[in-house]
Amino acid sequence: MHPDLDATRHGPARTGLIRALARGFLGRCPHCGTGKVFRRFLKVRPECDACGLALHHHRADDLPPYLVIFLVAHVVGYLILETEMGYDVPLWFQLSFWPAATLGMALGLLQPVKGAVVGLQYALGMHGFATLPSGGPAAPRGEEPRLGPADERATDTHPGLGPA
Ligand SMILES: [Zn+2]
C-alpha cells in the first residue's frame, strides 16, 4: 500500500514535512504529489486538480522573497568576493555578470521557494490546511478553525512528526 494512504479509517494521511517541502519546491501538490501548485508564474491554484486539496488559503506572503534574498545574496556576495580576490576579472564583466546572475537566480528560485512555503504551511496544518480532502477531517467543515495550529482532533495526525 502507498505509505501516504491510510484509507481504512481516515483517507489519505498528511504528508510529512520534508516530503511536503520537496513536493512544493518542485511545484507539486504537497498532499498528493501529482497535481500542480501553480497555474502560472507565482500564481497558486485555488485547489489541487488531482486530489482537491484547497490551496487558496495559503499565506506565503513575504516569506518566499525574504528567503530568496537571503540565499541569493549570500551566494552572489561570496562569489563576488572570491573572484575579486583570486582572479583578475575586468570591471565590465563584474558590472554586467553579477547583476544578471542575481536577477536570474532570484527569478529562478522565487517560485520553487514559494511552493516549498506552501508545502510548509500544509505540513504544519496552518491556516486552512488543517482540513484534508476526501475524508480527512472528522469534524464538519463549518467547525474548522480559521487560524492557528492544526486541530489535532480533526486531523488525527501529528503534522510533521508522523511516519508519512
Ligand atoms: Zn493534490
CA of 61 to the centre of ligand 1 (A): 21
Residue-range domain boundaries for the chain: 5-155
Share of the chain above pLDDT 70, in %: 74
CA of 77 to the centre of ligand 1 (A): 38
Alpha helices in 14-160 (DSSP H): 17-25, 63-86, 91-123, 152-155
For the chain, which residues score pLDDT lower than 50?
Answer: 1, 3-10, 135-146, 148-164
Distance, CA of 111 to chain centre = 9
Burial of 31 (0-12, 13-18, 19+ CB in 10 A): buried
Which residues hold their Cβ within 5 A of ligand 1, which is an ion? 29, 31-32, 35, 48, 50-51, 53
Which of 132, 134, 103, 146 has the alpha carbon at shortest distance from 15?
132
CB 51 within 8 A of CB 36: no
Q: What is the DSSP string of 16-35?
A: PHHHHHHHHHTTB-TTTSSS
The confidence score (pLDDT) of residue 8 equals: 41
Hunting for cell 506552501 — which residue is that?
Answer: 118
CA of 30 to the centre of ligand 1 (A): 7
pTM across the whole model: 0.72
CB 109 within 8 A of CB 102: no
pLDDT digits (tens, 9 = 90+) for 32-69: 999 999 999 999 999 999 998 999 999 989 999 999 99
The confidence score (pLDDT) of residue 134 equals: 67
DSSP 11: E
The confidence score (pLDDT) of residue 116 equals: 96
The confidence score (pLDDT) of residue 11 equals: 55
The confidence score (pLDDT) of residue 39 equals: 95
CA of 45 to the centre of ligand 1 (A): 11
The confidence score (pLDDT) of residue 133 equals: 82
Distance between CA 134 and CA 145 in Å, rounded?
18
CB 41 within 8 A of CB 111: yes
CA of 71 to the centre of ligand 1 (A): 28
CA of 57 to the centre of ligand 1 (A): 15
Which of 112, 16, 123 has the alpha carbon at shortest distance from 64?
112
